[in-house]
Amino acid sequence: MQQRPLDEAAGTRVSALTLGAMPFGTTVDEETSFAILDRFVEAGGTTIDTANCYSFWVPGGEGGESESVVGRWLADRGGRDRLTIASKVGSGLGADGGAEGLAPEVVRTQLEGSLRRLGVDHLDLYYAHREDRVIPDEETLAAFHQAVTDGTVRSLGASNHTAWRLAETRALAERRGWTPYTAVQQRYSYVRPRPNTTLPEGGHVHASDELLDYVHSHGLTLFAYTTLIWGAYSRPGQPLPEHYDHPGTDRRLRALAKVSEELGASPVQVVLAWLIGGTPTVVPIVGVSSVAQLDECLAAADLELPRELRRTLDEAV
Ligand SMILES: NC(=O)c1ccc[n+]([C@@H]2O[C@H](COP(=O)([O-])OP(=O)(O)OC[C@H]3O[C@@H](n4cnc5c(N)ncnc54)[C@H](OP(=O)(O)O)[C@@H]3O)[C@@H](O)[C@H]2O)c1
């Protein structure tokens, strides 16, 4: 699988596909999680996405299960230095029942917890999982920069941030000589929600055209989540969620069906190839619950979309 630089200064790299570890240890049992991780690495994947809070909302979940499973897998299989491990802070449950946010002490203590559960001495990428507009950015960014200075984090990322907040926080970091966010993680796929719809999934922020433009013009890396719309592209009995219901979706699904047929590839594979080879280049995070689903996704990493078929997909709006 192809690798690309994530952050030249830190020497971090990412594989064309990232493996989403969110369900590991809750809805996906440990044995299956290990098999998925093994297969991903065997296929040349190097980048794993988790978070301190995965997955507290699942019945019986507390948060931390995903990192713990990845940690036990790393301890058993080794090879940590060949991997790019990303985790996040900010969306865990706070004392008041809302999000924990990005206060400096939260960043520090949650980072310690993530490192402990993963059994590693550093994260390759650490994200602010969502915006915190209460805590001054100066305080959050100083705490993140301190982690980079301490060597417990290599590169920083922002997830679920609006374009203007991303630009503002990066400018502030630059003024202070601190490490800026170089990775962005946002919800993004081939079909898009209706304009101005609020996504029902708390905290999810969709990549706007402005954000895509910012990422491209500043050479940042965009990681996209919920790229597979939870399997809706390939399961006839699973309709797209209601907020995707608009005429542009019908046009996109028709284009997707046409291109899939012409290429002899599945819709899932075409969507992933469209993301990987587009502008800006996207690193799709694939969430899977079986090795068979992963195998279907892995084939997309080498799928080249001929120019005219990419145009067919792009022009369906
Ligand atoms: N930064 C954030 O706020 C944020 C938010 C959400 C997710 N994420 C990251 O992104 C990752 C993926 O997100 P996600 O799980 O929300 O979305 P997703 O990747 O769109 O959906 C994953 C689900 O799609 C189905 N699927 C996968 N491959 C398939 C295939 N080949 N054929 C048919 N169905 C298939 C499976 O459903 P079944 O299990 O039902 O079979 C799988 O559990 C997470 O693990 C996490 O790392 C980040």
Indicate the burial class of 203 (C-beta count within 10 angstroms; 0-12, 13-18, 19 or more).
middle
Tell which atom from ligand 1 comes closest to the C-alpha of 235. Answer: 33
Q: Give residue for tokens 């993140």.
A: 144
CB 290 within 8 A of CB 36: yes
Cα distances (Å, whole numbers) of residue 98 to 10, 54, 90, 161: 33, 15, 10, 18
Rg (CA), the chain: 19
Cα distances (Å, whole numbers) of residue 47 to 18, 127, 317: 5, 14, 31
Tell which atom from ligand 1 comes closest to the C-alpha of 91. Answer: 3
Reduce the DSSP state of residue 175 to 3 states and report it.
helix
d(CA 95, CA 109): 14
Separation of CA 92 from chain center = 16
CB 46 within 8 A of CB 261: no
Residue nearest to atom 14 of ligand 1 (CA): 226
What pLDDT sits at residue 181?
98
Angle between helical axes of 247-263 and 267-276 (0-180°, round to 10): 100
CB 117 within 8 A of CB 74: no
Which among 36, 285, 291, 295 is the best mutation to test ligand 1's pocket, defined by most ligand atoms within 8 Å of the CB? 285
pLDDT under 50 in the chain at which residues? none
Listed in order, strand segments (DSSP E) in the chain are: 3-7, 12-15, 18-20, 47-49, 84-89, 123-128, 153-159, 181-187, 221-225, 282-287
Report the b/e string of 82-112 with b at 16+ CB within 10 A. ebbbbbbbbbbeeeeeebbbbbbebbbebbe
| pTM value surpassing 0.95 | yes
What pLDDT sits at residue 189?
98
d(CA 311, CA 186): 24
Write the pLDDT tens digit of every residue in 192-224: 999 888 899 989 999 999 999 999 999 999 999
Phi, psi of 48 (to 5 degrees): -120, 130
Number of residues in the chain: 317
What pLDDT sits at residue 196?
86
28 Cβ below 6 A of ligand 1: no
Beta bridge partners of 12: 7
d(CA 111, CA 109): 5
What CATH number does residue 94 fall under?
Answer: 3.20.20.100
Show the domain range for 26: 3-315
What pLDDT sits at residue 108?
98
Alpha helices in 162-266 (DSSP H): 163-176, 209-217, 247-263
> How many Å lie between the centroid of ligand 1 and the Cα of residue 37?
15
Tell which atom from ligand 1 comes closest to the C-alpha of 49. Answer: 47
Structural domains of the chain, count: 1
What pLDDT sits at residue 38?
98
> How many Å lie between the centroid of ligand 1 and the Cα of residue 288?
6
What pLDDT sits at residue 236?
83
Residue nearest to atom 18 of ligand 1 (CA): 226
What pLDDT sits at residue 202?
82
